[in-house]
């Protein structure tokens, strides 16, 4: 099948991308199946405690604070494919270990926290490497398209994984979901092994300082980049907690079981997948101001989610939340990838991921505690309003300061650091 050079699926012209895409699809299903199973397992072990649910989420994302910047620096220096093999292998071992403990009937709360931490460390190193690896697979001209297709892939997994996990939990408990995820990591390792190095798009990089500090200085000198990061921080910390919101609404508000809880993730994914596919055609809207407006739209959607009177109405509103979130996030990710100098892209990606996920270790326990104090609906409404207020403030302060500079090179953005080399 011929792939149009300017079509929505143009990244599939590249052999390495065609190999990795289906492997990632399987892995994404496994990832979302495990997320649902992990949340349900911790609720089982703690008598539906929102506090423990928030804490285990925090533990899984806390490594981002310590390892994402280093992962970004590694992405600019070393062989990305080999590193991704290693991180996927560690992820497989973590999922396998937790799954075997569940099946053996010996799982305890601390086991869930331990494996969540292990998986979090692996993911924190993996994410910036994986993001910057995309440009080596498809080339600079197809990065934006590949980012959209990767997001569609991720959310297709989100469409299938939660429903699959909910069914398996209802029939066999949580153990099989963890084993499925462990298996899907192996698909990615095999795909990475089968790639042809001769097909990689390796750009000759300028010699830079190669430090994390240089990446931070570069991002802070670019309002079009750091404003994107600011919006994403508030949206991710307070609004993008759908797994926690869904788990607690399903159990505490609607009195539903694991199958119904799993379906809520699928409803989110319907909107997310739609947003990802639409984003592949919205290249002319890839500007920082669009990210800000998207953050406002998503925050409003989350605020209104809190007043859904029944499980049915809650389910019907979730696709809109997913649609608004993914349209904004894909634009944000594309801007970070495309508008960063390739010589420093890995470090900028690491900073972006630190901002994106770094608020979760603080936001998740806070959300869990608030649920116990003021209730589920009130907590969701408060999170939505905080995110909305932040996005509106950023809009007011920066809407005239986020144009793309003419020169995005490291030496153009940070001229003082390179004056001696000229």
Res 108: pLDDT: 94
Reported confidence tier of residue 92, pLDDT bands at 50, 70, 90: very high
pLDDT score at 280: 63
Secondary structure letter of residue 141 according to DSSP:
G
pLDDT digits (tens, 9 = 90+) for 305-328: 999 999 999 999 999 998 898 888
54 neighbors 369 (Cβ within 8 angstroms): yes
What integer best gives the mean pLDDT of the chain?
A: 84
pLDDT greater than 60 at residue 3: no
| 258-279 vs 143-172: helix crossing angle, rounded to 10 | 170
In 3D space, the residue among 232, 213, 214 whose CA is nearest the CA of residue 413 turns out to be: 214
Instruction: Please name the residue ranges forming H helices in 253-344.
Output: 258-279, 288-305, 311-338
What is the fold of 15-200+210-408? Growth Hormone; Chain: A; (1.20.1250)
DSSP helix/strand/coil, 361? helix
Q: List the chain domain ranges.
A: 15-200+210-408
Q: Give the tens place of pLDDT for each residue, 333-389.
A: 888 878 888 778 778 887 888 888 778 778 888 888 898 889 989 999 999 999 999
**Which is it for the CA torsion 285, 286, 289, 295, positive or negative?**
positive
Tokens of residue 269, six digits: 């994914």
Whether the predicted pLDDT of 51 surpasses 90? no
Distance CA 55, CA 422 (A): 51
pLDDT digits over 98-125, tens only?
Answer: 999 999 999 999 999 999 999 988 888 8
How would you class 37 by CB atoms within 10 Å of its CB: exposed for 0-12, middle for 13-18, buried for 19 or more? buried
């Amino acid at each position: 099948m011929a792939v149009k050079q300017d079509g929505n699926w143009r990244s599939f012209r590249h052999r390495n991308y065609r190999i990795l895409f289906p492997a990632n699809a399987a892995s994404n299903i496994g990832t979302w199946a495990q997320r649902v199973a992990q949340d349900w397992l911790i609720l089982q072990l703690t008598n539906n405690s929102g506090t423990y649910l928030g804490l285990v989420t925090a533990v899984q994302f806390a490594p981002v604070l310590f390892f994402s910047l280093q992962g970004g620096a590694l992405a600019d220096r070393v062989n990305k494919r080999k590193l991704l093999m290693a991180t996927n292998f560690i992820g497989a071992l973590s999922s396998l270990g937790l799954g075997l403990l569940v099946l053996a009937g010996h799982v305890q709360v601390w086991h869930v926290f331990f494996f969540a931490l292990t998986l979090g460390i692996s993911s924190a190193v993996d994410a910036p490497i994986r993001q910057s690896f995309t440009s080596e697979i498809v080339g600079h001209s197809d990065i934006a398209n590949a980012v959209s297709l990767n997001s569609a892939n991720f959310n297709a997994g989100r469409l299938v994984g939660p429903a699959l996990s909910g069914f398996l939990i209802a029939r066999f408990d949580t153990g099989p979901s963890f084993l499925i995820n462990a298996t899907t990591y192996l698909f990615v390792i095999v795909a990475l092994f089968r790639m042809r190095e001769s097909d990689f798009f390796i750009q000759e990089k300028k010699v830079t300082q190669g430090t994390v500090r240089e990446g931070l200085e570069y991002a802070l000198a670019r309002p079009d980049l750091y404003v994107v990061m600011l919006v994403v921080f508030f949206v991710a910390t307070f609004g993008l907690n759908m797994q926690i919101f869904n788990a607690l609404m399903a159990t505490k508000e609607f009195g539903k079981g694991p199958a119904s809880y799993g379906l809520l993730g699928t409803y989110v994914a319907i909107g997310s997948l739609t947003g990802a596919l639409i984003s592949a055609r919205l290249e002319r809207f890839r500007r920082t101001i669009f990210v800000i407006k998207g953050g406002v739209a998503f925050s409003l959607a989350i605020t209104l989610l809190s007043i859904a009177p029944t499980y049915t109405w809650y389910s019907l509103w979730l696709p809109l939340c997913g649609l608004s979130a993914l349209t904004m996030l894909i634009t944000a990710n594309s801007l970070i990838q495309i508008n960063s100098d390739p010589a420093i892209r890995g470090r900028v990606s690491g900073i972006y991921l630190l901002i994106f996920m770094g608020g979760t270790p603080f936001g998740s326990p806070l959300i869990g505690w608030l649920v116990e104090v003021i209730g589920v609906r009130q907590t969701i409404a408060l999170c939505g309003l905080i995110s909305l207020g932040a996005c509106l403030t950023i809009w007011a302060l920066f809407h005239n300061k986020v144009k793309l500079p003419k020169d995005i090179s490291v030496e153009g953005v940070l001229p003082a650091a390179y004056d001696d080399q000229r």
